[in-house]
Amino acid sequence: MAITTHFALILALLCSFLVPYTPKPAQPVKPTYITTPTGYLMVLRQGDDVLANLKQVAIQEKIPSASFTGFGFVHPTFGFWNAQKKDYDPKSFRDTEMVSMTGSIAWKENQPALHVHAAVSDKNFNTFGGHVLALEVGTGSVEITITVHKKRLTRIVDKPTGATVLSLD
């Protein structure tokens, strides 16, 4: 009798694997930004690439140009302009709180061209900042307010310095 009981349990266990798989309904994708009277409000979550998301909104919404501000938890890479090399000297940080970010959106070669600066603080309240080369959302979120301008602006390379600058023409 005990062998029959064990056999029945094994058979029931094996049959449980034969039950057809029914996937859970897909969760709706939450929007990363909403429209405001002056532009957009964006909220990004852990792991999001801040600069890529700003460029994506500029393309999707056909933003002619804009200014933006933001704050939140980030893993930034800053660059300090090296005039001799005509390039940035980078430095990366982890687990910081962005106390302020400001920047602009313009266009260069039909692609969004961002100019972004930020200041971040570590857990000891040491503050670092500069030109943002890369920015990933850390723990929590990043909130960005984008103010759209009517005129399409472009960026050009300033020949004497080699830097890309905003053109008002």
**Cα dist. 144→1, 45, 68, 110, 135 in Å?**
70, 12, 7, 23, 13
Q: What is the structure's pLDDT at 25?
A: 53
Residue 23: inside a domain, yes or no? no
Q: What is the count of structural domains for the chain?
A: 1
> Does any domain span residue 5?
no
CATH number for 96 = 3.30.1330.80
Q: What is the pTM of this model?
A: 0.80
Per-residue confidence of the chain (169 residues) as pLDDT tens digits? 555 555 555 545 444 444 444 445 555 456 699 999 999 999 999 999 999 999 999 999 999 999 999 999 999 999 998 988 889 999 999 999 999 999 999 999 999 999 999 999 999 999 999 999 999 999 999 999 999 999 999 999 988 888 889 998 7
Residue 9 lies in a domain: no
Report if residue 126 sits inside a domain.
yes
| pLDDT score for 169 | 79
pLDDT value of residue 108: 96
pLDDT at 160: 86
Domain assignment of residue 39, given as a range: 31-167
The 3-class SS string of the chain reads CHHHHHHHHHHHHHHHCCCCCCCCCCCCCCCCEEEECCEEEEEEECCCEHHHHHHHHHHHCCCCEEEEEEEEEEEEEEEEEECCCCEEEEEECCCEEEEEEEEEEEEECCEEEEEEEEEEECCCCCEEEEEEEEEEEEEEEEEEEEEEECCCCEEEECCCCCCEEEECC
